[in-house]
A and B are shown apart, each in its own frame.
Chain A
Amino acid sequence: MKNFNFKSASNTKEASKLASGRATFLAGGMSILPAMKLRLAAYTHLINIKKIKSLSGIKVSSKSIRIGAATTHAAVAASKEVGKSIPSLAILADGIGDPQVRNRGTIGGSIANNDPAADYPSACLALKATIHTNKRKIAADKFFKGMFETDLKKGELIESVEFEVPEKSAYAKFPNPASRYALVGVFVAKQKDGVRVAVTGAASSVFRSKELESVLLNNFSPSAVDKATVSDKGLNSDIHASAEYRAHIIKSMARKAVSSC
């Protein structure tokens, strides 16, 4: 790994000020350090944001759950409040990677990275999340732009992610047996005013399945999923699974998620 300067920021202002030029934020390091070792990325400065107190922690109200960007996956998985209010979110966090990844990796790092197979982006889309940054609020629908690409601007720091509490929701993941990332993951949520179905792992970026949303809006049941046609157009084909197979798993994961709602 090429050398760089490491600096811990003590507040969000300092962090975004330091993140100029070829500098970037360091949260759990679970994505960025492997990328730097493989020389897929190089920076002159890494700005540690884990010492900023306001970025960690979970706040729950009757309408929403707000999770600080530097909160680890392990903390979300273990949170009794998250487990009570949006259990699917705690279950999702508990299924990310392995215990050591969950002890370090953070929600902010996961969504800023926007790996096409990451789990949290699907929860953001399905649970109508709002991404709070040091500059503005971004609706999840506008946040995820493409493979490893988001709406974040240079030096913009995610402070927290706020999820709407749905009537019911569930996440079903078909993990790649080697990497444990989602080969396909489907997050289903039923709100007062609609249904949202978000799919990760299947395409170049997380997306909402309009076909599944429309059948589930009429009839929120596993049998309704069978009636939907999920096209394989635009889905990934690789050594792990063909596009056609992924389209098939989307339906079976959706069925599984709806049945466990």
Chain B
Amino acid sequence: MAVIELSVNGKKISKEVSDNTLLSDFLRDKLSLTGTHVGCDTSQCGACVVHMDGNSIKSCTTLVADCNGSEITTIEGIAKNGKMHSMQEAFKKHHGLQCGFCTPGMVMSAIDLLQKNKNPSEQEIRDWLEGNICRCTGYQGIVAAVKDAASKM
């Protein structure tokens, strides 16, 4: 057990956790931030993607102990003043989701792509989303959403 200090969606948090606690479990069980989903728990599906110090990571394969002093952003942290993030708007507009299970990870991953590549091609979007699996949409709407968001962000 150790006290871990980190910031989650801009809020400073200090909590005692056992050393084997995963970031995904911490967010969901200790902070009730259930927007971060756990699909596979084996680092394959990307449903658990959040940002750590600005980069997208899989929270199911990250220890909270390893996040001491870090800034974490989850899907709950991207809307501002009640207004959806342009990536969320674009997913809504282009039907980039059906059941919505993969969506938080997709959105967080796609935002990281646009941070690094402002105007990605369709192929670059598909390559980037390699770690995010969707069992519903067939990806067409997702790719269209990311393209549209790129033109607005």
Contact = CB atoms under 8 A, between A and B. Distances in A.
Interface of A: 1-6, 8, 26, 29-30, 33-34, 37-38, 46, 48, 50, 74, 97-101, 103-104, 180
Interface stretch (B8-16, B59-67, B96-104, B144-152): B59-67
B19 A5 contact: yes
Interface centre among B18, B20, B46 (most CB of A within 10 A): B20
B42 A6 contact: no
- Mostly helix, strand, loop or mixed at chain B's interface? mixed
Contact of B56 (A2, A8, A34, A100): A100
Contacts of A6: 2, 19-20, 63, 65-66
A48 B70 CA distance: 15
B137 interface: no
Interface of B: 2, 18-20, 22, 41-43, 46, 49, 55-58, 61-63, 65-66, 68, 109, 112-113, 128, 130-132
Contacts of A3: 18-20
Contact of A4 (B20, B58, B113, B131): B20
B131 A33 contact: no
Given A3-B18, A6-B19, A180-B130, A29 B113 contact: no
Given A29-B66, A33-B61, A101 B20 contact: no
Given A1-B20, A6-B2, A37-B41, A103 B66 contact: no
Nearest to B68: A8
A43 to B, nearest CB: 10
B62 A29 contact: yes
B46 A2 contact: no
A80 B49 CA distance: 27
Contacts of A2: 20
Contacts, number: 71
B109 to A, nearest CB: 7
16 contacts: A1-B20, A3-B19, A4-B20, A6-B19, A6-B20, A29-B63, A34-B43, A46-B19, A99-B56, A99-B130, A100-B56, A100-B109, A101-B43, A101-B131, A103-B55, A103-B56
Contacts of A4: 19-20
Contact of B61 (A8, A34, A180): A34
A45 to B, nearest CB: 9
A48 B63 CA distance: 11
Contacts of B22: 1
Contact of B57 (A5, A97, A104): A104
Given A30-B61, A103-B57, A98 B130 contact: yes
A4 B49 CA distance: 24
Nearest to B131: A98
B131 A100 contact: yes
A46 B18 CA distance: 13
Given A34-B42, A48-B66, A99 B61 contact: no
Contact of A104 (B20, B61, B109, B130): B61
A37 B131 contact: no
Contacts of B65: 6, 48
A97 B49 CA distance: 15
Contacts of B42: 34, 37-38
Interface centre among A29, A33, A46 (most CB of B within 10 A): A33
A92 to B, nearest CB: 15
A1 B128 CA distance: 29
A50 B43 CA distance: 20
